[in-house]
């Protein structure tokens, strides 16, 4: 188990040894609180776009279902007649220059796995740049857009925002509720009081003060041929190699078990690079992975490699609330 995996386990199990990291946590808290105070005071270089900016982010380290929610927001805003663009840091991307407009035929090494997935699935105009304000400005020069979605960036205070949505894993929660490195929080817990909405991935109903959403499996898609099959393609009890290089691999494995398959689990680090040799598993079984992993594996995929396409399904109460926000921000929506 890597250091990162051991830390994550400790954060959510409440290991007493984390008390040794409290001095570093206090230093971290002081830095992030100062950054936010400067943002609220309007100090420093802050880019305000001429169109509304919606930030979809995390307060915790690790996966919360952010990419499927971004895809849902894209389609929902389009259904309201809005022209949507997306900006992203592009974690792990190595483009020839920045900002970089992601195209569907880019490689994951150039574009980053999550931005490439979003573009391939939706065709949305998407710009990557660690300086998200610069990404927004460049994207608006290239495209006539009504609305910008910032993929992550809750703590990127050089970009002004009109709406903040924070996603939380309902099963894991906020761990020990302490900041890095003593806990999984990127900002102190009280930061949640200032965001516009909390969305809990995997909640069975809307919790008090927030909204629920779930990731619903849709289809199986073959990496090599692009062929689409129903979930019944694999019968109950099917054994398969399950590959997950996401923030919370256990959630993917639980999904497969909920579909009554028998996954042989292969958990990798978030944004992990892959090769045919790394995924050469024994015994010979079908390989099933997340869509985020699939964008990095198509070039060397075998015939029986598949990914599971999932869609975010937020609660009706969130949809109604979000439509109200669109009407406030964009009266013609």
Q: Which tokens belong to 28?
A: 């971290």
Same domain, 154 and 255: no
Which domain, by its residues, includes 273? 216-312
Same domain, 113 and 257: no
Same domain, 114 and 198: yes
Instruction: Yes or no: say if 110 and 94 are a contact pair by the CB < 8 Å rule.
Output: yes
Instruction: Yes or no: say if 285 and 240 are a contact pair by the CB < 8 Å rule.
Output: yes
pLDDT interval class at 333 (50, 70, 90): low
Nearest to 202 by CA among 135, 239, 251, 256: 251
pLDDT tens digits, 68-115: 999 999 999 999 999 999 999 999 999 999 999 999 999 999 999 999
The whole-number average pLDDT for the span 145-164 is: 97
Same domain, 103 and 151: yes
User: For residue 263, what are the CA distances in angstroms to 215, 235, 255, 267, 293?
Assistant: 18, 13, 10, 11, 16
Same domain, 320 and 263: no
pLDDT interval class at 61 (50, 70, 90): very high
Instruction: Yes or no: say if 225 and 237 are a contact pair by the CB < 8 Å rule.
Output: no
pLDDT at 1: 62
Report the Cα–Cα distance between both ends of the chain, in Å, rounded. 49
State the Cα–Cα distance between residues 119 and 127, nearest whole angstrom. Answer: 10
State the Cα–Cα distance between residues 326 and 321, nearest whole angstrom. Answer: 9
pLDDT at 202: 96
Q: Is the pLDDT of residue 332 over 70?
A: no
Same domain, 207 and 223: no
Same domain, 187 and 225: no
Same domain, 67 and 197: yes
User: If you average pLDDT over every residue of the chain, what do you get?
Assistant: 96
Same domain, 45 and 165: yes
Name the phi and psi angles at 138, rounded to 5. -70, -40
pLDDT at 94: 96
Residues sharing a CB contact under 8 Å with residue 30, sequence separation 6 or more, in sequence order: none
Nearest to 156 by CA among 73, 36, 274: 36
Q: Per the structure, how many domains does the chain have?
A: 2
Same domain, 73 and 10: yes
The CATH number assigned to the domain holding 52 equals 3.40.50.300
Same domain, 129 and 257: no
pLDDT interval class at 3 (50, 70, 90): confident
Same domain, 160 and 221: no
The whole-number average pLDDT for the span 156-169 is: 97
pLDDT tens digits, 190-216: 999 999 999 999 999 999 999 999 999
pLDDT at 206: 98
């Amino acid at each position: 188990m890597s250091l990162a995996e051991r830390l994550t386990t400790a954060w959510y199990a409440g290991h007493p040894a984390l008390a040794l990291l409290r001095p570093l946590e206090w230093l971290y808290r002081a830095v992030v609180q100062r950054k936010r105070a400067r943002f609220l005071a309007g100090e420093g270089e802050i880019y305000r776009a001429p169109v509304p900016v919606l930030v979809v982010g995390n307060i915790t380290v690790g996966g919360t279902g952010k990419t499927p929610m971004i895809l849902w927001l894209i389609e929902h805003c389009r259904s309201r007649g809005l022209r949507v663009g997306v900006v992203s840091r592009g974690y792990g991307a190595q483009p020839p220059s920045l900002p970089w407009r992601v195209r569907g035929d880019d490689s994951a090494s150039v574009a980053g796995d999550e931005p490439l997935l979003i573009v391939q699935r939706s065709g949305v105009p998407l710009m990557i740049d660690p300086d998200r304000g610069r990404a927004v400005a460049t994207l608006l020069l290239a495209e006539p857009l009504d609305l910008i979605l910032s993929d992550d960036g809750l703590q990127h205070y050089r970009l002004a925002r009109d709406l903040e949505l924070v996603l939380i894993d309902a099963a894991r929660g906020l761990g020990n509720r302490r900041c890095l490195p003593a806990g999984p929080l990127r900002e102190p817990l009280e930061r949640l009081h200032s965001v516009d909405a909390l969305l809990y991935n995997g909640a069975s109903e809307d919790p008090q003060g927030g909204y629920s959403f779930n990731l619903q499996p849709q289809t199986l898609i073959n990496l090599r041929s692009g062929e689409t099959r129903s979930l019944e393609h694999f019968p109950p009890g099917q054994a398969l190699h399950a590959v997950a290089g996401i923030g919370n691999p256990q959630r993917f494995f639980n999904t497969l078990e909920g579909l009554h398959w028998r996954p042989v689990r292969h958990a990798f680090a978030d944004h992990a690079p892959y090769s045919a040799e790394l995924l050469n598993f024994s015994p010979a079984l079908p390989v099933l992975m997340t869509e985020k992993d699939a964008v990095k594996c198509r070039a060397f995929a075998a015939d029986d490699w598949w990914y599971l396409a999932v869609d975010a399904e937020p609660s009706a109460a969130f949809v109604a609330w979000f439509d109200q926000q669109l009407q406030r921000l964009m009266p013609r929506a």
